[in-house]
Amino acid sequence: MVTIDTSVCLVCGGCIDLCPKTAIQMVDDRVYVIQEKCIQCKICVQVCPVGAPRHIEDAA
Ligand code: SF4
Ligand code: SF4
């Protein structure tokens, strides 16, 4: 799964605009991934200037 580390996220909105599945939303100045929509493409991981989105391998 992909999650956003809100302690480093700048809330710049860059990942929101580039997510192909509109799986990233901003609520109350925090950015989070809607897991049901995310397809693990990791575009957000690549575009974020501060490395806030983290891809975590699902537990086996
Ligand atoms: S991994 Fe892809 S689908 Fe999932 S939140 Fe990031 S950009 Fe969107
Ligand atoms: S691109 Fe990175 S810093 Fe910008 S909103 Fe997304 S996670 Fe936060």
Tens of pLDDT, residues 5-54: 999 999 999 999 999 999 999 999 999 999 999 999 999 999 999 999 99
What's the CA gap between 36 and 3, in Å, rounded?
A: 12
Q: What is the pLDDT of residue 38?
A: 98
**Which ligand minimizes its atom distance to the CA of 36?**
1
**Cβ of 4 below 6 Å from ligand 1:** no
Predicted confidence band at 58 (pLDDT cuts at 50, 70, 90)?
Answer: confident
Architecture of domain 2-55 in CATH? 2-Layer Sandwich (3.30)
Does residue 1 register a pLDDT over 90?
yes
Give the ligand 1 atom nearest the CA of 21: 3
Q: Beta 53-55 vs 30-33: how paired, if at all?
A: unpaired
Q: What is the pLDDT of residue 59?
A: 67
What's the CA gap between 8 and 34, in Å, rounded?
A: 19
Cβ < 6 A, ligand 2 pocket: 4, 9-15, 31, 47-48, 50, 52-53
Q: What is the pLDDT of residue 57?
A: 87
Closest C-alpha residue for ligand 2 atom 4: 12
